Each structure stands twice: as C-alpha cells, then as structure tokens.
Structure 1
Amino acid sequence: MPLVLRNVRPWGGDPADVTLDGGAITAVVPAAQAWTAAPDAGTEPGAGVVDGRGRILLPSFSDVHVHLDSTRLGLPFRPHTGSPGVWNMMLNDRTNWRDAEASITERATHTLGLMITRGTTRVRSYAQVDTDAGLERFEAVLAARETHRERADVAVIAFPQAGLRREAGSADVLEEALRLGADVVGGIDPCALDRDPVKHLDTVFGLAEKYRRPVDIHLHEPGQLGLFSMELILERSRALGMQGQVTISHAFALADLPDAQLGPLLADMAELDVSVATVAPATALPLERLTTAGIRVGLGEDGQRDYWSPYGNADMLDRTWQLAFTNRFRADELIEHCVAVATVGGASVIDPLAQRLTSVADRPGLSVGDPAELVLVEGDSVAAAVMDKLPGRTVIHSGRVVADGLQLA
C-alpha cells in the first residue's frame, strides 16, 4: 500500500509531501498549501498517511560496524574489567560473556530492536567465531536478524576475533560459519594479533574466493605497521579482482601516516574501491580527504556497552554527533556530511552498487527512485538534529513504518 509522508523537510529543505510505494520513493512534491485543513488532499485512494509535522526527512542510518554478539544493553551496568590490548580484551570477553543476566540471543535481539527504533534499518554486524564460542554467537546474531527481518536488513560477518593462527581450529570454525550462510568473511590485525600476515590474509581471501563473499578486516594496527597490512590487503584485492568487495574497518593508520604515504595509499584504495568503516575514534580519520578521493566511508557503533567498553547506546544519531565532534567540525555543511556518511555512505559500504558520496556537499537518498529507507527526526536544521538528538523519530523500512517515538511498530 502506498504511504504518503506529509509536510516533511528532505535534508532540512523546503516542506514536501513524499510518496512511497513498492519499497521506493515514487514522488516528491511541494507540501500541499492547505494540507492541515484538508489532510487527504492529493492522496491517492488507499494510501496511508504519516503526519511529518515539519520534521526533517533523512535516509535511514546504516550501521556498518556493530558487534551484536557482545552487547549488554538493557542489562545492569557492569564495571569495566578489561585490560589494554586486543588479545587481553578478547580474553576478558571470553571469560564473561556466558555469565550475563540474559542469553546472547536475547541481548542481540534487544539491541537490534533499539537500533531500529532510533533510525537504523541497514546493519552489518560481526559475529565472533572461534574455538571457544564455536557457532553460538553467530547463531545468536542470525536469530536476532530473523526476529527483526521485517524491520531491517542485516548482513552478518563471520569474525575471527581471536585471530586465525593463535588457536588450532580457528579457520575451521570460520569456514563452517560461511557454509551456514555468513554474508562476509572477517579478519583482524594480521601482524599485531596473528603475527603472520601472509598466512592470515591467505586464509581470509582464500575463503572469500571459495565462497564468493566480500571481506571486512578489523585493522587496529597504527602507523607503518598498519600501512604494511593495508598494502598486503590491497595486493590481494588486486590479484583476486575483488574491486568493491573489501572493507578495512577502523583503519587507524590513516590518521597518522605522513602525506607522502597517505596520498598514494588513498589513490590505490580508490582504484580498487576498498571501503572504510569507522566508529568515530578519538583520533579522527581524514574524513573529508577519504570522500574526495572517492573512497566509500561508513559509520558504525562498534561494541554496545559490552565487555570491551562501557560506551554505546544503539543510537546512530548520537554516533554521528561523535563523528562530527572528533573531526572538530563546526560548519553545518560538514556536520551534514557526517549524517550523509552515517546514512547513504554506510549503505554504499554494504552494497557497492548503491548510490555513493562523491563530495562533502552530496545529499543523496531522497529522490524519486531511491529506496524507501528513511527516518524522520526533529530539529530546526540537520545540524541541530545532530546536536539535540531528540526522541521524536519515525523509522521507515521498505516503505513501511517500523518504529515511531522510539518504539517498535
């Protein structure tokens, strides 16, 4: 059934009436002058109507880096017990995740629901697979996806959080998850964690080639070590013809490489269409430069108040604020660019054929023919909506309202 969004402001612009049908936007026209007096004027027979109340219409959020399999949102606050380092933090998680007050399936399902109510309808979630968890965490994320299948699109990354070389059998568990339908092959710190980048990347890309899956590699490695790993990733991407199928998550090295190395690296990433997923870390990536270089960039919330970190609240609008803040953006255009990254930018990381950002001024996703993946937010402007993060939101997935006022429909 068609759905008409009355009196909305696409990207904070002039009021418009927006019609959705068949999972896409089918019309965008100036808001009817007398719509408040005659709310059915101009609505085709049988169409539903949402009162936009002058709110801002945006593409819905795309969370491209979240760990639904470790969340503690909805449970009592727990003091942080981890110690520094990826391996130590992983061991802390391994020690505690089974002892939570609710099962991992319940927690993942609850957190995914919270994300949807706050405006996220496209998700790429990790699911840890290792010799300790086996497929238990992977199956929990699949269950959460199934529960919310009519409310959001969720891709699942089989993620070897403990590496592939430190524990015998790790690669076998990763492959089993791919046999069972994982959407993406994960990898992590081939040098710093596994200390064998050639064998680690051979395993990841070998499985990607065998099962015809894209790749997403966590890369916390800084500086020259991170550059070395990225060059190896690009080398394999080129050799296997995987243009558009590789994502580097975190990519912290991009924040501290000298320009003489950063420039050629970004050019190679753009040539191979390697995308970046960031979580808005304290040391900001060169966001504007990535976009102007033609590199797809998306945003994610990472862990959600889990055994790794007490941060996270399932709200991508809040994480968009963090992206603007860590980049020290003040101008409205740059804050809006952060929104574009968190919405359409992330969608293009998930699907390389989707519309992508080409400059910091791009505001796509709300034209006729675009997917009806939308969120209405309160605010005088897009920048104000990011600053205020108000609760009056309506979330639309595939042309249907799936949440309103921070409650699932």
Structure 2
Amino acid sequence: MATSSSAKTLIRDVRPWGGEPSDVTLDGGLIAAVVPRDPERQAAQESGSRTDPGTTVVEGRGRLLLPAFSDVHVHLDSTRLGLPFREHTGGPGVWNMMLNDRNNWRQAEAPIAERAATALGMMIARGTTRVRTFAQVDADCRLERFEAVAAARDRFRDAADVQIIAFPQAGLLREDGSAALLEQALREGADVMGGIDPCTLDRDPVRHLDIVFGLAEKYQVPVDIHLHEPGELGAFSAELIAERTRALGMEGQVTISHGYGLWGMGEAKTRHLVELFAGADFSTATVAPGTAPALPLQQLVEAGVRVGLGEDGQRDYWSPYGNADMLDRTWQLAFTHGFRADGLIEHCLAVATVGGASIMGALPRLAAVADRPGLDAGDPASLVVLDGETPAAAVMDRLPDRTVIHRGRVVADGLRLLSGR
C-alpha cells in the first residue's frame, strides 16, 4: 500500500472529524482536495473508470479521518516497551528517580538503540507520526542515549517527523561537564535545548537559565523546560523563564512541560499564569497525570496558548505506564479532566493531534475549544483513519482498525508497520 510522496493517494469514504462521508485526495505530501462522497462518483470509482492508474486507493470504509497524533513529550531514551515487564524500583523525587534509571538502563535485555527504535515503530503503527522526544545527556551516559534516539529517528525518517531535545535530566550544575555535553549534542543535530527545575534541582535558577537560553540562542533552537516545581516556586520559575523569553525575543519558541504545580493555587493565580503563558507565547506539554490538578484546558486555548499531549515514559525505569498509543493517552486526558460532553472529549483529540503539531510548527494553533482544523486542502497529509462511530466514541473504544498516512504515504495499517523498517 505504500507509495512515493510524489504519487497521488485517494482515501475513499472517510468522515473528517466525524463529519459527512468524503473522498480525500493527497498529492505531494499535502491534502489536495476534500469532496463530499456521492453515489454516482462512488460507482464510477469502484468500476475503475475514474481512478487514475497511478493513484493509490485507501478504503476508508466510513471510518473517521483525523490529523495524525503528535506525541510532544516522550522519553524514547528510557523505554522498555517490547521487553519483559519488571517491578518498579524508583524512589520518590526527580533525583532519586533519575538515579534509579541511571543504575538500571545499561542492564536492560536489549540495547537502548534497539529499544528506542522498537518504541518509535510501535508509536507510528498506532497513529503517531509527529514526535518530540527527550534524549538524556549527562556525565554518566554522555551522548550515548542521544545517539540511540537519533538512530531511531533516522531509521524511521520516512514514516515520522521526530524532534530531539537535548535534555539535562541530572541538571546542568550538579555534575562537571554537563553544559559542554549538551552543547555537543546541539552541534550534532539536537533540535531543541532542554532544561529542568531551575530552583529545586540545580538550586541556581539564574545560572541554569543562563546556560539553557544561552545555548538555545547560540544554536538557534527552541527551548523545552521540565517544570515539576510546586506552587509558588514553580510560578516563580515560570516568571523567570518568561522574562528570558521576552528579553531574547523568543516568544513562540519556549515550551513548559508538565507544570504540575502551577494549576492548583486558586482562580486568581490560574488566571495570572494563563496570561503569563499567553504573553510570552509559551506552549505547554502535558502527560495527563492522575495525581495533580488538571490543566485549565479551556482557559488556555481561549487565551491562544498551544497545548500538546505526550506519554512521558513508556514502561521504563520511571514508571510502569505507557504503551505507545496516543489514543489511550487521549482517553486519559479526557478522564483526568472529568470530561463527559462529546465536544470536550473531541477537544482532547484536537490537543493530541493538532495541539502537538502546532508546538512542532507543523500546523496552526487551535483557535477555540470547538476548533477542528488540520483536514483542509493544503494541510499536511499526515493522517490517521480510525474506526469509531464518532470522535468521542473512538476515544472511548480505542479500536485497532487504523490506517496511518505520513506525507501522503501509507506507513501502517491495522497496528502494523508497512514501511520505514
């Protein structure tokens, strides 16, 4: 079923965002046309009289058509997907969890390059073709984990767009040589500069942010900062990050990931932080945690803030959760927010698809909770065809009948890869 990106593909009888049955033509890696399905044209197509012999036909069979999923917060460098299940051994706190990972990752049953490729292939097969992944760089692993993730990215370069974040999981100041190693990763092709907990981990937010933004400015890359810090301390770090962002003219290029502790401090503080995010044009990536206050999703989108979704770890040394399926994580986003209305569940799908794509620069940001973009002529032909009565039902049922298209090519069907191996 796979085709070259220059060939045409006709997706026959699909329902964009659950709407009316349509035929969708792809050409040159873009959506060329979306036209209503009509019985006369259907009969002609099925007889072959109106189908260009050079066109690949994908049978939609009345399934849903959505933009492909975007996982914008995943750690492909620590995954254990495909390996035997192991007991979780991590202790409390970021530093203890990092040490648990450090003490175990080399003893896995398969090398990290193989594990990263296995997980990325599983993600693609389930409908994720846009990925922003962290790659830990520190005094222990040096660039080994970055190189493993880069190899997985290269292996699947025709089936997914992958951005790699050079990530100081152990901090930038606690171990000698950390900043130099992060710079080396940027020289060798990392796409994003990472940061983490400027106050609680490195305990010197000014110096930490000097390094993060200094390297980002030097190599002209965006920034993505893990922020686990609680309450007012987390808000203080967010304000420092906003100051740096505005001073360097980096609005629209900074993501605050997690931000667990920012959203449980009352209505006035939430409103202030939403305005802070909007004013600095931060984006934010959530993993839909079950043990923290929910993001104010509706307020954020109404303020123009880009929100993306990710799986975080995938059955790794940090957590036993994660299965490479962003449709499952979409269900988790809806569930942890207590959403029952179809429109809000569909908004979670929009966050999991278009929201993440907007962070990666592939699609415009969502304009409202009811916005359902990404399937018009001229949009990228990175799509997923899903079984489901409605988009909300697809989130509830999470069925395996899926066809995955990247840059106009079918790359997976029925949870099985067709190319990029």
The TM-score range, normalised by the shorter chain, is over 0.9
> Residue 374 of structure 1: which of 367, 373, 383 is its match?
383
**What amino acid is the match of 2:374?**
G
The answer to whether 1:390 aligns with 2:399 is: yes
Name the CA distance, whole Å, in 1 between partners of 2:394 and 2:273: 35
The answer to whether 1:28 aligns with 2:37 is: no
**What amino acid is the match of 2:22?**
A
**What amino acid is the match of 2:391?**
V
The answer to whether 1:247 aligns with 2:255 is: yes
Alignment match, 2:369:
360
> Residue 324 of structure 2: which of 311, 314, 330 is its match?
314
Alignment match, 1:169:
177
Name the CA distance, whole Å, in 2 between partners of 1:384 and 1:267: 34
Name the CA distance, whole Å, in 2 between partners of 1:66 and 1:331: 28
Alignment match, 1:303:
313
> Residue 118 of structure 1: which of 102, 123, 126 is its match?
126
**What amino acid is the match of 1:304?**
Q
The answer to whether 1:10 aligns with 2:16 is: yes
The answer to whether 1:258 aligns with 2:271 is: no
Could you give the per-residue CA deviations for residues 213-263 of structure 1, whole angstroms, max 9, x where no partner exists? 100000011110100000000000000000110000001133212222222
Please list every run of 5 or more consecutive structure 1 residues that lacks an aligned counterpart in the other structure.
Answer: none
Q: TM-score, normalised by structure 1?
A: 0.98
Could you give the per-residue CA deviations for residues 63-93 of structure 1, whole angstroms, max 9, x where no partner exists? 0000000000000000000111000000000
1:117-196 paired onto structure 2 within 5 Å: 117-196=125-204
Q: Return the offset for 1:41.
A: 5.1
1:198-217 paired onto structure 2 within 5 Å: 198-217=206-225
Q: What is the percent sequence identity of the aligned residues?
A: 70
Name the CA distance, whole Å, in 2 between partners of 1:41 and 1:310: 53
Alignment match, 1:69:
77
Q: Return the offset for 1:38.
A: 4.4
- Compared CA separation, residues 102 and 271, structure 1 to 2 (3 A): same
* Aligned partners of 1:291 and 1:359 also within 8 Å: yes
* Aligned partners of 1:254 and 1:286 also within 8 Å: no
Could you give the per-residue CA deviations for residues 252-284 of structure 1, whole angstroms, max 9, x where no partner exists? 133212222222222222122110000001121
* Aligned partners of 2:45 and 2:51 also within 8 Å: no
Secondary structure of residue in 1 paired with 2:252: coil
Q: Return the offset for 1:23.
A: 0.6
Name the CA distance, whole Å, in 1 between partners of 2:114 and 2:162: 16
> Residue 228 of structure 1: which of 233, 236, 256 is its match?
236
* Aligned partners of 1:69 and 1:140 also within 8 Å: yes
Name the CA distance, whole Å, in 2 between partners of 1:157 and 1:42: 47
Q: Return the offset for 1:44.
A: 3.5
**What amino acid is the match of 1:330?**
R
Q: Return the offset for 1:172.
A: 1.0
The answer to whether 1:289 aligns with 2:299 is: yes
Name the CA distance, whole Å, in 1 between partners of 2:378 and 2:335: 33
**What amino acid is the match of 1:361?**
A
* Aligned partners of 2:73 and 2:310 also within 8 Å: yes
Could you give the per-residue CA deviations for residues 316-360 of structure 1, whole angstroms, max 9, x where no partner exists? 000000000000000000000000000001000111x73110110
**What amino acid is the match of 2:126?**
R
The answer to whether 1:53 aligns with 2:57 is: no
* Aligned partners of 1:129 and 1:174 also within 8 Å: yes
Name the CA distance, whole Å, in 2 between partners of 1:41 and 1:159: 54
**What amino acid is the match of 1:230?**
A
**What amino acid is the match of 1:28?**
V
Please list every run of 5 or more consecutive structure 2 residues that lacks an aligned counterpart in the other structure.
Answer: 1-6
Name the CA distance, whole Å, in 2 between partners of 1:117 and 1:307: 24
> Residue 402 of structure 1: which of 403, 411, 415 is its match?
411
* Aligned partners of 2:363 and 2:374 also within 8 Å: no
Alignment match, 1:329:
339
Name the CA distance, whole Å, in 2 between partners of 1:238 and 1:102: 44
Name the CA distance, whole Å, in 1 between partners of 2:269 and 2:394: 37
Could you give the per-residue CA deviations for residues 84-116 of structure 1, whole angstroms, max 9, x where no partner exists? 100000000000000000000000000000000
* Aligned partners of 1:219 and 1:250 also within 8 Å: yes
* Aligned partners of 1:17 and 1:32 also within 8 Å: no
Secondary structure of residue in 2 paired with 1:19: strand
- Compared CA separation, residues 41 and 52, structure 1 to 2 (3 A): farther
Deviates more, 1:35-44 or 1:193-202: 35-44
Name the CA distance, whole Å, in 1 between partners of 2:159 and 2:117: 12
Q: Return the offset for 1:37.
A: 7.3
Name the CA distance, whole Å, in 2 between partners of 1:120 and 1:281: 20
